[in-house]
Amino acid sequence: MYPRSLEKLIESFRKLPGVGEKTAERYALLICDSDIEDVQEFAQALMDVKEKLTHCHVCGNLCEGDECDICRDRDRNHRQIFVVQSSKDIIAMERAGEYRGVYHVLNGLISSSKGILPEDLNIESLVERAKDAEEVILATSATLDGETTSLYLSRLLAQNYPELLITRIAHGIPSGGLLDYADEITLMHALTDRRKMGG
C-alpha cells in the first residue's frame, strides 16, 4: 500500500520488540517528517553500533575497543566480581552508585525452555577470572532461569575454588522481577543483604 521504501522501513521497525503494525507506521511516518540530518544520524548510529561495539574481553560488557571502562578502572576492586545476565544490568547498578567492584556479563541465562546451555554463556572466562577473586556476587534475575543459573554457577565456582566467597543478591528484588527494572533503593538493599551461597 505504501511506497516501497516506506514499506521497507515499516518492516524494519516491526522487528523491534513489542512493535506492531500501527506503531511501526507511526515511527516510519515520523521519519518521513524528520530533518534529513536527524535521519542520517539515526542511520549512522545504527551502523556504528554494529561496527564499533564489541564485548569487553575481560568481563563481556558492551564496549568500544578491547576493554570496557569499568575493567580499565584501577580504582575499582578487581577481586570482587558482580555477575549479571546483561549489560543493561550494569547500567542499573552503576546508577545506584554504591558498588565499587567489577562486573561479569553472562549474556543470557541457562534456560531449559529456551534450550540455552551453560556453554552458550560467558561462563568459562568467569571461572578463569574467579581464580584471583575474593568474592563473586551472583546477581541474575529472581526468575526461574536466573535462580537456576545462580545455583549452577555457585556449585561450579565452589568446586573449583573452595576458599572463594560466593554470594547471591537477595532481599529487595521482588520475586519474578527483572534486575534492570528495579529502583535504586531496591538494588541497594539487594547489594547490602546479599547472602553466602557456597556449593
Closer residue to a copy of itself (CB): 13 or 149: 13
Q: How far is the CB of 12 from a copy of itself (least distance, A)?
A: 4
Grid cell in block for residue 59: 568481563
Pairing of strands 101-105, 77-84: parallel
CB 133 within 8 A of CB 164: yes
Closer residue to a copy of itself (CB): 52 or 196: 52
Q: How far is the CB of 166 from a copy of itself (least distance, A)?
A: 27
Q: Name, in order, each residue with C-beta under 8 angstroms of 84's C-beta and a sequence gap of 6 or more.
A: 90, 93, 103, 104, 105, 106, 139, 140, 179
Q: How far is the CB of 72 from a copy of itself (least distance, A)?
A: 12
Closer residue to a copy of itself (CB): 53 or 185: 53
Map residue 165 onto helix, strand or coil: strand
User: Exposed/middle/buried for 60, CB within 10 Å: 0-12, 13-18, 19+?
Assistant: buried
Closer residue to a copy of itself (CB): 127 or 186: 186
Closer residue to a copy of itself (CB): 185 or 198: 185
Q: How far is the CB of 31 from a copy of itself (least distance, A)?
A: 6
Interface ranges with a copy of itself (CB under 8 A): 1-6, 8-9, 11-12, 15-18, 22-23, 25-32, 34, 36, 38-50, 52-53, 62-64, 68, 86-88, 91, 94-95, 181
Q: How far is the CB of 155 from a copy of itself (least distance, A)?
A: 28
Angstrom distance (rounded) from CA 114 to CA 119: 14
